[in-house]
């Protein structure tokens, strides 16, 4: 990306100067531009390497790593009532579909394939497994949950192992649709004792 920027600057500069210099000066100008680009690229590479080395010694993420982390934490798409309503409407068409571990169709589906399939209908791509889906968007508290948010649970006691989609929030209580291993695709409330005890956090995706 940076290389392309340097080349573009050089082309614009060279084009502007072309009509104002002699033939011999053109050659000198070309050489100067090429040398300037090369120096700039080398300086950039050295700076990036230095940044990485300093980050390793300090235990802090480098600029590139911080930028990648920040980008990944952003919502995947802009919030839209139309998109959220379409998402919930699609999710509810799956009600009653049986749970099958590793399943990805209406013949049988697991929790993360369910959320992945539903979000794909509004052109939002989610990873296949719940632990990776949990890395999308940004965390919100229970009081900040909205329709279309993902909610994550630890049913195994070893981190994220279940996921659902918030369908509505009434009087501060969120309901969510999910593929339950015991009842298939269903709607539950976060206040249900089983899910309340295993709730980890919610994520804004839209």
User: Could you report the per-residue pLDDT of 139-195, keeping only the tens digit for each?
Assistant: 999 999 999 999 999 998 889 999 999 999 999 999 999 999 999 999 999 999 999
Q: How many domains does the chain have?
A: 2
Task: Say whether 178 is catalytic.
Answer: yes
Domain shared by 21 and 118, yes or no: no
Helix axes 111-120, 81-92, angle to 10 degrees: 130
Domain shared by 61 and 147, yes or no: no
Mean pLDDT (the chain, rounded): 80
Task: Print the domain residue range for 84.
Answer: 75-204
Domain shared by 29 and 105, yes or no: no
Task: Say whether 204 is catalytic.
Answer: no
Domain shared by 149 and 130, yes or no: yes
Task: Say whether 162 is catalytic.
Answer: yes
Domain shared by 67 and 162, yes or no: no
Q: Which of 186, 200, 192 is closest to 130 using CA atoms? A: 200
pTM of the shown model: 0.64
Q: What is the CATH number of the domain that holds 170?
A: 3.90.1720.10
SS3 content of the chain, % helix, strand, coil (to 5): 50, 20, 30
Enclosing H/E stretch for 163? strand 162-170
Domain shared by 91 and 193, yes or no: yes
């Amino acid at each position: 990306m940076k290389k392309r920027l340097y080349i573009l600057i050089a082309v614009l500069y060279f084009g502007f100067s072309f009509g104002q210099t002699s033939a011999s000066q053109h050659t000198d100008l070309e050489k100067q531009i090429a040398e300037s680009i090369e120096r700039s690229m080398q300086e950039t590479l050295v700076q990036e390497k230095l940044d990485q080395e300093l980050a390793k010694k300090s235990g802090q993420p480098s600029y590139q790593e911080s930028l990648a982390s920040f980008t990944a934490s952003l919502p995947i798409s802009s919030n839209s009532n139309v998109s959220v309503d379409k998402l919930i409407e699609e999710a509810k068409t799956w009600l009653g579909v049986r749970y099958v571990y590793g399943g990805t169709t209406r013949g049988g589906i697991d929790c993360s394939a369910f959320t992945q399939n539903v979000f794909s209908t509004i052109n939002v791509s989610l990873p296949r497994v719940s632990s990776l889906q949990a890395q999308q968007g940004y965390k919100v508290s229970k009081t900040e949950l909205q329709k279309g948010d993902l909610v994550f649970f630890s049913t195994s006691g070893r981190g994220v192992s279940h996921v659902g989609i918030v369908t509505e929030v009434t009087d501060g209580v969120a309901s969510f649709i999910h593929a339950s291993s015991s009842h298939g695709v269903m709607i539950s409330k976060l206040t249900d004792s089983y899910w309340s005890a295993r709730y980890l956090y919610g994520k804004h995706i839209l």
